[in-house]
Structure 1
């Protein structure tokens, strides 16, 4: 089968959507399919194009058996609502040329990974003109996130954006997304149930099994080995609301046995660094994004994993980091309401994680104590990962059903 994957994020990005798109494309190629990817140069979560790539020109290469076409785009150093929109539109415009060039190749399957919906017309056009099946894979509901998190405002603009989103989603042959709550949201947006497919993010479960704490890695990150580690790892952006973590650290300064370790990059990192400096906190340590090969050891070295989101992000975005936390048997503290996908996960699988109210420092501190008291490794988490998050099982099923 000829598979055309289309999306703004792709390997070698190590966090979020790019990681999963890269693993998916490589897996398709390993199964003997011919795979092409139209994407952008890697820039996330640093919001800076990485060395060796160019945001001003097209680049074509073969990576792990996949043909990758990277398109120019605007990458703002300090993303705001307007700059984010210009960023997405710039990729949509430049990638149109690369997508039209695939008409001669005649793919059998065109899969658009969202964000961004700005690329929907190109994906639908190529699929229609070549007779390919069109699939919309939703990693984030970008319209919901924009308005739910207050990044964008406006009654008329909001109604127009949601109307366009509904129209676009219903135009695809299949719509897939990564959680039960996000599937429910797709139904509410008018997608027919028979056109929907559950396509969760996965873990390379075998890589994260039976991993020990790594003193050498913690020392490299300047973490005192005598302390219990409260880890946040991943993107440091708007939808996480990590200011509550800094406030919790301030209230827990008397707990000399605890250290907050924040590992990652993103648009909100500078603000957090300033907050820690202003408050003169010595129980918060920042570390750079770690190589993927070190991720199992990093996760296994934490006593509590902070899976933090703002309330407005619930079921609009889902933290991809959770899959590997569960696979390594980590004890996760999740901030989400009970009726969200993450809340339902905790109620349906008692003991898998600790669930607390989002955007509450008091609830966060209570949850930390509860998570630290949980057995380690977390057998409920590892069994769930084994049964439901294995990459091969998920991708085989989805490819057979789209």
Structure 2
């Protein structure tokens, strides 16, 4: 059990160790948020160490220049100390291969974890899920160093694996995974997640109320500005249609991206529309094959981070498909920048889900898997420019209200200090990281 520590009162800098499978230089999804929290802490006087995998996401290929069978140390832009660990990266991540992928990270991270625990003596060790399989190593390192422990749930990876068919819930591996998840969730001093419905799911998994904290994802509003007029990137990519519907991000099975070609078949008559798919991942080849007879769907690589505003501002609206059953297990990280771009979001989710609650009022929702409804709603928005403008303004306001990076990370840092002082407070002393 972690003990109360207050190094700040003794004039010593607080020390945080972050364990995250995904980290910079990955440019999208969880890696962006793990990097952002580490850099913010370091910039604000916290000694911050990171243990991460070698970058591979979203293409599921280890990046060029990183294909070395050993550990790599790197200094981040704000002074963070990162160690990137060698891992197994499957080119086609099935359920069993994903498990091996996560196990390989847990094993290669373990010696670094124990070394950091003994040498650097962190005050808090924070694990980002995925990957829960690294939790035993984190808990062992915390016991060695006397650190408090924090689990931040970006995805409910076990349930997401069931929902996407990667694991069979009734199989032996499925049952063991559920038991392992339950044990892990009950072992950390803090367990945070990124939305109200995901916090409710933690409660249903028997996580004690005093352990639960909300820690939302965020957007660097200063780096994502609404584009007035026509984005210059549109011409650079050779898009000459008046309208663009954009999906940008990871191309994986949990997104339910198969609906996009189905939707496009209902819109063949819209010669004024390009459906732009910008990203990489295991579903890219599948989608390209499904869209062979659909010239309105065009595929582009991920764009550099300094072109993010131009990319998002190229869209008349953003497409955000998600499969049924996953809308309360994950909250797509790409949503933050979609909203910040000042464009409406068209999502496949029910209104009472985490995604549905975030999109309501600044976009449109259709039932998951209903390609015809998605096509109808897209066409309605394309033909109603004033409504797109209204929803886009609401989206930008939502981003400023709920997703501002500075306020969210400032509260996160404050909560880090609180858990160092008292890892196990009374329930009534709990603080949320709400914006």
Normalised-by-shorter TM-score class: over 0.9
Q: Confirm or deny: 8 A CA contact 2:343 2:388 kept in the other structure.
A: no
Q: Give the C-alpha shift of residue 58 in structure 1.
A: 0.6
CA, structure 1 residues 157+76, in 2 after alignment: closer, same or farther (shift >3 Å)?
closer
- Secondary structure of the residue that 1:158 maps to in structure 2? helix
Larger RCO of the pair (alpha carbons < 8 Å, separation 6+): 2
Q: Confirm or deny: 8 A CA contact 1:229 1:301 kept in the other structure.
A: yes
Q: Confirm or deny: 8 A CA contact 1:56 1:72 kept in the other structure.
A: yes
Aligned: 1:267 with 2:287: no
Aligned: 1:359 with 2:393: no
Match of 2:75 among 46, 49, 62: 62
Q: Confirm or deny: 8 A CA contact 2:263 2:371 kept in the other structure.
A: yes
Match of 1:227 among 213, 221, 242: 242
Aligned pairs for 1:290-369 within 5 A: 290-347=303-360, 351-369=361-379
Q: Give the C-alpha shift of residue 214 in structure 1.
A: 4.8
Aligned pairs for 1:24-103 within 5 A: 24-64=37-77, 65-103=79-117
Match of 1:187 among 193, 199, 203: 203
Q: CA separation in 1, counterparts of 2:294 and 2:307?
A: 27
Match of 1:203 among 202, 219, 242: 219
- Secondary structure of the residue that 1:230 maps to in structure 2? strand
RMSD: 1.4
Structure 2 partner of 1:141: 156
Unmatched tracts of structure 1, length 5 or more: none
Structure 1 partner of 2:409: 395
Q: Give the C-alpha shift of residue 340 in structure 1.
A: 0.7
Q: 1:323-354, CA deviations, whole angstroms, 9 ceiling, x for partnerless residues?
A: 1111111110011112211223345xxx3111
Q: CA separation in 1, counterparts of 2:68 and 2:57?
A: 13
Match of 1:4 among 17, 38, 44: 17
- Secondary structure of the residue that 1:186 maps to in structure 2? helix
- Secondary structure of the residue that 1:135 maps to in structure 2? strand
* Segment drifting more, 156-165 vs 314-323: 156-165
Q: Confirm or deny: 8 A CA contact 1:213 1:297 kept in the other structure.
A: no
Q: Confirm or deny: 8 A CA contact 1:55 1:73 kept in the other structure.
A: no
CA, structure 1 residues 366+55, in 2 after alignment: closer, same or farther (shift >3 Å)?
farther
Structure 1 partner of 2:128: 113
Q: 1:9-41, CA deviations, whole angstroms, 9 ceiling, x for partnerless residues?
A: 001111110111111111111112111100011
Q: CA separation in 2, counterparts of 1:333 and 1:210?
A: 17
How many residue pairs get aligned? The number is: 396
Q: Give the C-alpha shift of residue 139 in structure 1.
A: 0.5
Q: CA separation in 2, counterparts of 1:274 and 1:209?
A: 34
Q: Confirm or deny: 8 A CA contact 1:222 1:285 kept in the other structure.
A: no
Unmatched tracts of structure 2, length 5 or more: 1-13, 417-435
* Segment drifting more, 206-215 vs 21-30: 206-215
TM-score by length of 1: 0.95
Q: Give the C-alpha shift of residue 159 in structure 1.
A: 2.8
Q: 1:34-85, CA deviations, whole angstroms, 9 ceiling, x for partnerless residues?
A: 1110001110000111112135211112121111101110011111111111
CA, structure 1 residues 210+152, in 2 after alignment: closer, same or farther (shift >3 Å)?
closer
TM-score by length of 2: 0.88
Q: Give the C-alpha shift of residue 376 in structure 1.
A: 2.0
Q: CA separation in 2, counterparts of 1:264 and 1:394?
A: 27
Aligned: 1:159 with 2:159: no
Aligned: 1:168 with 2:184: yes
Q: Confirm or deny: 8 A CA contact 1:2 1:34 kept in the other structure.
A: yes
Q: CA separation in 1, counterparts of 2:381 and 2:142?
A: 47
Q: Give the C-alpha shift of residue 181 in structure 1.
A: 1.0
